[in-house]
Structure 1
Amino acid sequence: MGKTKGHVLFFPYPLQGHINPMIQLGKRLSRKGLTVTLIIASKDHREPYTDDDYSITVQTIHDGFLPHEHPHAKFNDFERFNTSTARTLADFISREKLSDNPPKAMIYDPFVPFGLDVAKELGLYVVAYFTQPWLASLIYYHINEGTYDVPIDRYENPILASFPAFPLLSQNDLPSFACEKGSYPLIFNCVVSQFSNLRRADCILCNTFDQLEPKVVKWMNDQWPVKNIGPVIPSKFLDNRLPEDKDYDLGDFKTEPDESVLSWLENKPAKSVVYVAFGTLVALSEKQMKETAMAIRQTGYNFLWSVRESERSKLPSGFIEEALEKDCGLVAKWVPQLEVLAHESIGCFVTHCGWNSTLEALCLGVPLVGMPQWTDQPTNAKFIEDVWKIGVRVKTDGEGFTSKEEIARRVVEVMEGERVKEMRKNVERLKVLAREAISEGGSSDKNIDEFFALLS
């Protein structure tokens, strides 16, 4: 990699869905010669380690919680997390500034806005990096600005929400925090406060690409100097300019693809398998889990379902064994999602519509069946179905429950319905645009180069 051209700190919100896009940008910048330090706020101390393939060092700072406390305690006590982590972040930056290679800049996640204030006070060039799309983040912006008032009751006098450069959004299309006043109050404050000090940032990045949200991006560019640098998924599945970049892992976190899953897929015909996964955080109710299982079985398609150990007891009795016996389905505790989505046997992806999963499916040309749960997922699902037209979204009752008939109907629609050709054509088009954006000379590649020039 030659002589180092500078040192930059990365400070993500400590959830894997936020850390992964930070890692991926870090890999691309390190390949250009920057030294990267990834700072993880945690209650558990880990010795620093440096990745063998990249000049990326992972450091932990204390988040103010004790080892015996629940890992999600930080999401229920933001004040404690913010106060403690701001202090340990300031201490860490101060020490790094005395090193042989002091940092010039810090890239922070706007979910932790205090990161901007701490880094600014210590004289760093500070960059906001939105790991979620503008289509969700701008709704939080309008709430922060007071140009959108969250309704007191989502069911009383429901209205269509109108935002500049957006399609009209129903209450069910809005991020969960924007549907009803008082729902998730702590997290609501977290997502809205992303914009509380954003105008102090020296630069703004986002894990999207210009051609994916053109109207929203144009509106955003009129407000701030924005650089879209996505999609930041492993290079093997996009431009392949970093051929060793096959997953999101670093250093001693590296995991090998689950060959048993991939070998099972090898024996299935092209586009015959329904892949089901709801991310690392979503926990369906037992009733919804059973209903989903019955729906998948009812369709008669082959299926691969990623189910965490903690969720497996919610499946119907004998469901896993029956699928194995008939060789029509596989329930796995861990699935190499990128390898799976890239496999020719996959016909569609039943997903919670988290942004990383949405981008991965889009980049690998797989149409979607959306079962959004909360945060930005309903808005992502709206764009998937009505704007990009690369999939469908299940309908729910007033309690947010989806019947097996509805799930099965939607899966069949994406696997072999009248619109399947259109959906596949649209997702292939976006797949090409995504690869063009991040490939040499593309819009995101140029933005990364321009950004690198600012730091080096």
Structure 2
Amino acid sequence: MGSISDSPSPQRRHVVLFPFMSKGHTIPLLHLSRLLLSRNLAVTVFTTPANRPFIDQFLSSSTASVVDLPFPQNIHPEIPSGVESTDKLSSVSERLFYPFTLATKHMQDDFEKALSSLPRVSFMVSDSFLWWTLDSAVKFNFPRLAFYGFNNYSGCVFKTVAEDRLLHGAESDNELITLTRFPWIKITKQDFDSSFGKHSPEGSEFFMNVMGAVVKSFGLVTNSFYELEPVFVDYWNTECTPKSWNVGPLCQLKPKPQCHDPKPVWIEWLDKKKVEGKRVLYVAFGTQAVISSEQVEEIAKALEKSELNFLWVIRKKESFTWWDSEFDERVRGRGMVVSEWVDQTDILNHESVEGFVSHCGWNSAMEAICAGVPILAWPMMAEQPLNARMVVEEIKVGLRVETCDGSVRGFVKAEGLEKMVKKLMEEEEGEVVRKKVKELSEVARRAVEEGGSSWQTLQSLIDEACSN
């Protein structure tokens, strides 16, 4: 793994990537680094000391260089020294998230010192949350593209709702509202965080900084592909700025594991399920979702009563006030609970996995689509409710959990969850979405192959950015 001293040769086009300090934001840009390297570009990835080991391991078989910058200290009384990723925050509430993100501005001087010692940069892709990198790009005279974790569907819906003030006339949180520009789409207030359009002073500062920098950037790098959402790609690139460059699915570019790499225990368990001819339901809600002990108890009851084979990835069991110590024993043989970080693409691409209960973070949704695994959508936060609508209503590759009150963010009882996981895994509705997602998986594969839509888009991006 390189450092500043052995950075890329100045004769090659050279790209800087700067992911935000969160695995969900970092992993897509690490996949992008491999894409750029495959086009004979040199790549330098910026990070922080605590995040570097993960990035070094991820890029161990590549020629990308990695530079770490000191992360600001003493940014909030509840953020201890050494916490350099939102995954490690005690909560992802506004109280901690905005101070954490705004503090990254203090990295700018060190970032620019590092840039001054690197070969000339052709262009940079930095996370949209790192708005201040635009100023650095202007100072060093190279284009900055913002990486957007959203898809075009969500971006277009957000923009339409904000500009047409559609939420202001709704009488209840669950009233269906028709989008004037996309009349087949109906949303509710609960599809948006309660803070949408109403932010704390720190939140307002953050969003003004981010949006101001995005609009002035050379473009957006979007982890999607044209065939998945052509209406929304065309709308964005006709009516909105800057241009959205759809170069995904980025997860398609993961290198194949080496034969000598030891298999994690959960992959060995899935191998056994494959030999037994058993279909497995995968359950995971990402690294940021906060789930109550009461809700965890209902999930456990549903999985136990369903009689389905399942792999459930959960935060540390001891972090929940409820955890039945005998649960693992009762489901032994057909259920496995994992309390550590897993490589989700390995799980979703395993032949035994045929359903995914997901929070519908966009990375997870794309990984499921690429693997041809249908989704049971259970959105938790951020733009996930819109992603869930896209998955279920727009591209029709999943079903939706049933909440007690029928609302977007309602509590899910064991009986309702058991009903829906069985529907996904064993009934006709599940087979319909399974067929659809497998068709889209093939389209996604073709998009990143030479001559495909995403392949051509990336080449155009490189040519235009490097000639700017």
User: For the superposition of Structure 1 and Structure 2, which TM-score range results when normalised by the shorter chain?
Assistant: 0.7 to 0.9
The CA deviation at 1:298 is: 1.2
The CA deviation at 1:403 is: 0.8
The CA deviation at 1:375 is: 0.7
CA contact (8 A) 2:370 2:444 kept: yes
The CA deviation at 1:218 is: 1.0
CA contact (8 A) 1:166 1:216 kept: no
The CA deviation at 1:295 is: 0.7
CA contact (8 A) 2:18 2:47 kept: yes
Identical aligned pairs, as a percentage?
A: 26
CA contact (8 A) 2:355 2:373 kept: yes
Structure-2 residue corresponding to 1:174: 191
Give 1:365-384 correspondences, 5 Å limit. Answer: 365-384=372-391
CA contact (8 A) 2:124 2:137 kept: yes
Asked if residue 116 in structure 1 is aligned to residue 116 in structure 2, the reply is no
* Distance 1:88-1:219 versus aligned 2 partners, 3 A rule: same
Structure-1 residue corresponding to 2:264: 259
CA contact (8 A) 2:161 2:179 kept: no
The CA deviation at 1:78 is: 6.4
* Distance 1:289-1:35 versus aligned 2 partners, 3 A rule: same
Unaligned runs of at least 5 residues, structure 2: 1-7
Structure-1 residue corresponding to 2:432: 422
Write the distance in 2 (CA, Å) between the matches of 1:350 and 1:156: 25
Structure-1 residue corresponding to 2:411: 401
Listed one character per residue, the Cα deviations across residues 4-49 of structure 1 (whole Å, up to 9, x for unaligned) are 5122211222111011111111111123222222222578898996
SS at match of 1:452: helix
Structure 1 residue identity aligned to 2:80: H
CA contact (8 A) 2:278 2:309 kept: no
Give 1:51-200 correspondences, 5 Å limit. Answer: 51-66=59-74, 68-69=80-81, 71-72=88-89, 76=95, 81=100, 84-99=103-118, 101-142=119-160, 146-148=163-165, 150-151=167-168, 155=172, 158-162=175-179, 164-165=181-182, 167-171=184-188, 174-177=191-194, 182=198, 190=206, 194-200=210-216
SS at match of 1:176: coil
SS at match of 1:106: strand
The CA deviation at 1:153 is: 8.2
* Distance 1:197-1:92 versus aligned 2 partners, 3 A rule: closer
CA contact (8 A) 1:274 1:347 kept: yes
Asked if residue 201 in structure 1 is aligned to residue 225 in structure 2, the reply is no
CA contact (8 A) 2:19 2:29 kept: yes
Structure-1 residue corresponding to 2:44: 37
CA RMSD of aligned residues (A): 3.4
Write the distance in 2 (CA, Å) between the matches of 1:160 and 1:204: 28
The CA deviation at 1:195 is: 2.9
- After TM superposition, the score normalised by the length of structure 1 is 0.85
Write the distance in 1 (CA, Å) between the matches of 2:439 and 2:55: 42
- After TM superposition, the score normalised by the length of structure 2 is 0.83
The CA deviation at 1:454 is: 3.6
* Distance 1:36-1:244 versus aligned 2 partners, 3 A rule: farther
Unaligned runs of at least 5 residues, structure 1: 237-241, 247-254
Structure-1 residue corresponding to 2:5: none
Structure-2 residue corresponding to 1:439: 449
Structure 2 residue identity aligned to 1:89: Q
Write the distance in 1 (CA, Å) between the matches of 2:397 and 2:328: 30
Asked if residue 213 in structure 1 is aligned to residue 225 in structure 2, the reply is no
Higher mean Cα deviation, 275-284 or 184-193? 184-193
Structure 2 residue identity aligned to 1:296: L
Give 1:327-338 correspondences, 5 Å limit. Answer: 327-334=333-340, 335-338=342-345
SS at match of 1:132: coil
Structure-1 residue corresponding to 2:300: 293
Structure-1 residue corresponding to 2:399: 392
Structure-2 residue corresponding to 1:317: 325
CA contact (8 A) 1:341 1:361 kept: yes
CA contact (8 A) 2:9 2:42 kept: no
Write the distance in 2 (CA, Å) between the matches of 1:184 and 1:374: 18
The CA deviation at 1:130 is: 1.2
The CA deviation at 1:154 is: 7.4
Write the distance in 2 (CA, Å) between the matches of 1:147 and 1:189: 23
The CA deviation at 1:121 is: 3.1
Higher mean Cα deviation, 298-307 or 123-132? 123-132
Write the distance in 2 (CA, Å) between the matches of 1:341 and 1:37: 29
Structure 2 residue identity aligned to 1:416: E
Write the distance in 1 (CA, Å) between the matches of 2:131 and 2:115: 21
Structure 1 residue identity aligned to 2:289: V
Structure-2 residue corresponding to 1:250: none
